């Protein structure tokens, strides 16, 4: 595959580099470099900065506010975004529900929801998984019963990432139980979380953060106009959304940047110790990871080309998801190994912007290493567990 750049593409790369250097909020980049968690306001602010630049939706059609970039431009942008250590787009609005709405939604839904998603005026979360209905998503039990001009929703969604910040949730719900296949009774609806009957309960993870939540629906009234597409077609829409999610989960550009930073660290003598670059066993692990990451990059480029031509990500998104998440976890392990003792201590207060930097234990990337390692145990599970993805690959790619 030819990945050489034309003169125009090089000029675009320079423009993106200049944007992240000169226009992107500097304090947010500094927080990223120091491994200081971003607040909700920080996330909203930098998304709005991208919107003002016109770069908030790289994969959307231009008619809905997308960039109109070529596959190579998208590739360049992802690399420069990662290279600047800028945050990733929050996927739920831009990369997940947005494409479902502009593909299957009504004219009224597009007019109502897409501008706010693009401008990040609305924070979205995803309501798919339930207790006992994760990888076997077709077994979900949250019901939406039609009552006049509303659906009455009852049930519980779990592992809802950042649901504590969200204004709206897109959900797969069961609207019909009298079907021959469980998938045929599932619909895709949009629910305002700021209403009676909605309860959000945080779930504290191993890293000490309440990143995910349970969201309970107790007789929540949802207008019928919030049904996306046709009733009973939610499984079809949900599968398309998951293909987009799996492509994003791969995180090739982000992994490449993390690996480059690790290699730069190995070349230095830290605290008087010999550079890790002198450790051939460790460097062989780094080299092997880098080779696999380069191979995965070409699969990502093929997927990007498919999306840009108007197609949805195909079963190759499952390959990206499996290989990408395994590489993410392998890089986590390398970073922890490189940090050594300094990966162990963690004092939450030291990541406050007001905490004196000279009093921190180790660098932010070192002391956060083990927390990131623990947090990323989940990446091979969410978006469809890797075991399920291997079944998809066997059936739809290998034809087994």
**What is the rounded CA–CA span in Å between residue 384 and residue 318?**
9
Residue 343 burial (CB < 10 Å; 0-12/13-18/19+)? buried
C-alpha 391: how far from its chain's center?
22
Torsion angles phi and psi, residue 374, rounded to 5? -65, -45
Contact 203, 214 (CB under 8 A): yes
Residue entry with tokens 């990059």:
297
Q: Give the number of C-alpha atoms closer than 13 A to the C-alpha of residue 179, restricted to the C-beta side.
A: 16
C-alpha 137: how far from its chain's center?
19
- Joined tokens for residue 96: 């997940």
- Joined tokens for residue 255: 């992994």
Q: Which of 80, 130, 231, 245 is catalytic?
A: 245
**What is the rounded CA–CA span in Å between residue 338 and residue 275?**
10
Contact 45, 56 (CB under 8 A): no
Contact 28, 45 (CB under 8 A): yes
Task: Return the C-alpha torsion angle 393, 394, 397, 400, nearest 10.
Answer: -170
* Contacts with 80 (C-beta within 8 Å, 6 or more apart), sequence order: 13, 16, 17, 20
For the question of residue 245 being annotated catalytic, the response is yes
* Contacts with 284 (C-beta within 8 Å, 6 or more apart), sequence order: none
**What is the rounded CA–CA span in Å between residue 23 and residue 17?**
10
Residues involved in catalysis: 245
């Amino acid at each position: 595959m030819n990945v050489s750049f034309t003169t125009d593409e090089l000029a675009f790369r320079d423009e993106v580099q200049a944007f992240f250097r000169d226009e992107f909020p500097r304090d947010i980049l500094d927080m990223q470099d120091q491994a200081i968690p971003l607040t909700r306001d920080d996330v909203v602010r930098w998304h709005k900065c991208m919107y003002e630049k016109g770069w908030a939706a790289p994969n959307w059609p231009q008619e809905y506010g997308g960039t109109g970039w070529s596959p190579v431009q998208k590739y360049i942008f992802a690399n420069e975004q990662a290279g600047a250590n800028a945050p990733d787009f929050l996927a739920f609005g831009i990369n997940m529900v947005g494409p479902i709405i502009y593909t299957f939604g009504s004219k009224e839904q597009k007019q109502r929801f897409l501008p706010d998603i693009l401008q990040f005026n609305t924070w979205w979360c995803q309501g798919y998984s339930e207790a006992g209905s994760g990888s076997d998503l077709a077994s979900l039990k949250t019901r939406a019963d039609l009552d006049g001009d509303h659906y009455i929703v009852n049930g519980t969604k779990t592992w809802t990432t950042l649901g504590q910040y969200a204004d709206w949730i897109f959900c797969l719900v069961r609207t019909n139980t009298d079907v021959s296949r469980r998938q045929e009774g599932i619909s895709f609806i949009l629910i305002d979380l700021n209403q009676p009957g909605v309860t959000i309960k945080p779930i504290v993870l191993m890293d000490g953060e309440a990143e995910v939540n349970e969201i309970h629906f107790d007789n929540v009234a949802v207008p019928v106009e919030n049904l996306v597409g046709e009733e009973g077609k939610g499984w079809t829409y949900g599968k398309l959304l998951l293909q987009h999610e799996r492509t994003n989960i791969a995180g090739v550009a982000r992994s490449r940047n993390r690996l480059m930073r690790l290699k730069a660290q190995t070349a230095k003598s830290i605290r008087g110790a010999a550079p890790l670059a002198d450790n051939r066993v460790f460097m062989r692990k780094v080299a092997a990871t880098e080779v696999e990451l380069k191979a995965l990059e070409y699969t990502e480029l093929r997927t990007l080309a498919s999306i840009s031509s108007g197609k949805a990500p195909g079963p190759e998104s499952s390959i990206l998801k499996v290989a990408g998440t395994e590489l993410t976890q392998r890089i986590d392990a390398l970073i922890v190994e490189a940090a050594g003792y300094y990966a162990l201590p963690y004092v939450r207060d030291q990541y406050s912007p007001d905490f004196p930097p000279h009093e921190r234990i180790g660098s932010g990337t070192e002391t956060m290493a083990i927390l990131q390692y623990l947090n990323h145990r989940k990446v091979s599970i969410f978006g469809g567990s890797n075991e399920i993805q291997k079944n998809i690959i066997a059936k739809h790619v290998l034809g087994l």
